[in-house]
């Protein structure tokens, strides 16, 4: 695992967008795994800037979703599909048919999870997976004590994560869904390059546990230590608890 300390979130975004652009130069139809939440936004903004400047070509790129809320109606503005359409697909000019994601509205959710695993495999796997990290060390929506070998499945969010995400639902934790579909930790580890971005003091404990703690299910992000090509990009504040 390599740890890169950058001055701020914007620099982290530029670094990772540059890595995506370089991947796409060698493999124009690469599968970019994307995360939602606040942390990755500087990456998407920087990548859109590179596209506008003619320094990145995303015309054949495919985009794969990490996780999704269960039970939000199709088109709900906070479903992760809607968020990714708004933050990634539209600014980058990527068509909907280049987008892979699990169906959080499916009547048969286990079948939807299995279908997403199949779709990822048929796409040839994820080339670069961008990850954020929860304050409790979660990646995707694999909360603490998720199996390190887990595959895409239904999960229940912890109260902490629902509180953390209430800001996207008008501050009302009751509006945050209780259940999600998430790529499992084993699924995430199948990606060829994992890039975790963490910014701000609030992530410092989780980053230290992930990078320097034992590999353990209590800190799902510690699974990155098992991956042959994992990069952790942190700003000074998120790096502040590293030894």
Q: Closest by alpha carbon to 131, among 219, 47, 48, 194? A: 194
Q: What is the DSSP string of 43-89?
A: HHHHHHHHHHTTS---TT-EEEE-EEESSPPTT-TTSHHHHHIIIII
Residues 18-47 that bind ligand F6R (CB under 6 A): 35-39
* Three-state secondary structure call for residue 168: helix
To the query of whether residue 136 is one of the catalytic residues in this protein, the response is yes
Size of residue set near ligand F6R by CB under 6 A: 13
Distance, in Å, from the CA atom of 120 to the CA atom of 137, rounded to the nearest integer, reads: 24
Q: Which is closer to ligand F6R, CB of 52 or CB of 177?
A: 177
Tell whether residue 189 is a contact of ligand F6R (CB under 6 A). Answer: no
Catalytic residue, chosen from 68, 143, 190, 235, is 143
How many Cβ atoms are within 10 Å of 210's Cβ, its own excluded? 25
Choose, from 14, 136, 190, 235, the residue flagged as catalytic: 136
Identify whether 67 is a catalytic site residue.
Answer: yes
When binding is defined by CB under 6 A, the residue of 46, 120, 139, 194 that contacts ligand F6R is 139
For ligand F6R, which residue of 104, 134, 137, 184 counts as binding (CB under 6 A)? 134
Residue with Cβ nearer ligand F6R (102 or 140)? 140
By beta carbon distance, the residue nearest ligand F6R is 132
CB of 182 to ligand F6R, least distance (A): 7
Distance CA 39, CA 203 (A): 11
Residue 227 bears catalytic tag: no
Mention every residue, 6+ apart, whose C-beta is less than 8 A from residue 192: 125, 126, 127, 128, 229
CB of 129 to ligand F6R, least distance (A): 10
Nearer to ligand F6R, 65 or 105 (CB): 65
DSSP 103-139: -TT-SSHHHHHHHHHHHHHHTT--SEEEE---TTS-B
Residue whose CB is less far from ligand F6R, 59 or 144: 144
If the CB atoms of residues 22 and 38 are measured against ligand F6R, the closer one turns out to be: 38
Spatial contact of 170 and 205, defined as CB atoms under 8 Å apart:
no
Q: What are phi and psi of 223, to 5 degrees?
A: -60, -20
138 is catalytic: yes
Give min distance, CB of 23 to ligand F6R, in A: 20
Q: Is 156 in the site for ligand F6R (CB under 6 A)?
A: no
Q: Is 56 in the site for ligand F6R (CB under 6 A)?
A: no
Q: How far is the CB of 149 from ligand F6R (least distance, A)?
A: 18
Tokens standing for residue 233: 């990009």
CB atoms within 10 A of CB 67: 23
Q: What is the largest CA-CA distance in the chain?
A: 47
Q: Hey, which residues are catalytic here?
A: 67, 136, 138, 143
**Would you tell me which residues interact with ligand F6R (CB under 6 A)?**
35-39, 66-67, 132-134, 138-140
């Amino acid at each position: 695992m390599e740890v890169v300390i950058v001055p701020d979130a914007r620099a982290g975004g530029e670094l990772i967008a540059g890595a995506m652009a370089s991947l796409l130069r060698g493999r124009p139809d690469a599968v970019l795994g994307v995360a939602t939440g606040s942390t990755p936004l500087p990456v998407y903004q920087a990548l859109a800037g590179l596209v506008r400047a003619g320094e990145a070509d995303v015309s054949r790129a495919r985009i794969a979703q990490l996780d999704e809320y269960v039970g939000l109606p199709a088109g709900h503005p906070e479903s992760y599909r809607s968020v990714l359409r708004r933050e990634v697909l539209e600014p980058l000019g990527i068509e909907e048919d280049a987008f892979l994601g699990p169906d959080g509205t499916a009547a048969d959710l286990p079948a939807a999870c299995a279908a997403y695993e199949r779709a990822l495999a048929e796409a040839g796997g994820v080339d670069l997976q961008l990850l954020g990290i929860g304050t409790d060390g979660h990646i995707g929506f694999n909360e603490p004590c998720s199996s390190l070998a887990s595959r895409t499945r239904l999960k229940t969010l912890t109260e902490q994560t629902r509180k953390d995400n209430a800001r996207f639902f008008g501050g009302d934790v009751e509006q945050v869904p209780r259940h999600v579909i998430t790529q499992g930790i084993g699924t995430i580890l199948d990606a060829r390059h994992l890039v975790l971005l963490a910014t701000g003091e609030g992530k410092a404990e989780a980053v230290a546990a992930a990078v320097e703690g034992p590999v353990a299910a209590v800190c799902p992000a510690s699974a990155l230590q098992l991956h042959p090509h994992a990069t952790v990009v942190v700003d000074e504040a998120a790096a502040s608890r590293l030894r």
